[in-house]
Amino acid sequence: MELVIFIVSLIISITVHEFMHAYVGYKLGDTTARDEGRLSFNPIKHIDPIMTIALPVITFLLFKAPILVAKPVPFTPWLVRYREKGVALLSIAGPLSNLVLAAVAAVIARSFSGGSITYQILFYFSQLNIGLFLFNLIPLPPLDGSRVLYAFVPQPVRDLMDQIEPYGFFVIFAIVALGGFGGILGSLYNSIMNLLF
């Protein structure tokens, strides 16, 4: 049951996350995502069977820390208004949508008793979305946080990030497998969950 709740919550959360990337990109003048059918709440448009379903389930079962990867929303940097700053806005839209989903779930959860199944599902949904919010803000390519950081760092740092990006996923996987990100992210996670609940 926990696995079923996890998969359903993951599909909802990632769909909203990727839709917001596409929507903000469209509002900033880039029609790439819309033209490829990604400006949609249809989860099939945003899900890669291996990376979005199989990988999170496997890493969740192995490490209790799922690596969550949706099909990336395409964008054309030179079509996005405000250039790097616009790309940063497009990138932050996804994680912020997860924070909003967590907050909405927490507000609804208060209508139910703490022992009810509905409360537990909403609590779990919030946990997942706070995890998505924080994980995606890690400033390592190709995560959203790296796009935000990219807009504000000097060119030598950008060059380094460009070199890291092809290997970024493997670096992130290794860090998660070794129990990394736990300290700072754990503290932020607990603070946000305490605030919401």
Domain total of the chain: 1
Indicate which residue of 2, 18, 84, 165 is catalytic: 18
Q: What is the pTM of this model?
A: 0.88
CA distances (Å), origin 125, targets 60, 103, 157: 15, 10, 36
User: Which of 6-20 are b and which e, b meaning 16 or more Cβ less than 10 Å from the residue's Cβ?
Assistant: beebbbbbbbbbbbb
Sequential pLDDT tens for the chain (197 residues): 887 888 899 889 999 999 999 999 999 999 999 999 999 999 989 888 777 777 777 877 776 666 667 788 999 999 999 999 999 999 999 999 999 999 999 999 999 998 899 999 999 999 999 989 998 998 988 899 999 999 999 999 999 999 988 888 788 777 776 766 667 788 899 999 999 99
Report the sign of the C-alpha dihedral through residues 132, 34, 88, 196, in that order.
negative
Q: Does residue 66 have a cis peptide bond before it, meaning omega lies within 30 degrees of 0?
A: no
The residue segments making up the domain with residue 67 are 2-196
Annotated catalytic residue 18? yes
Could you give the 3-state DSSP secondary structure of residue 181?
A: coil
* pLDDT score of 65: 63
* pLDDT score of 10: 86
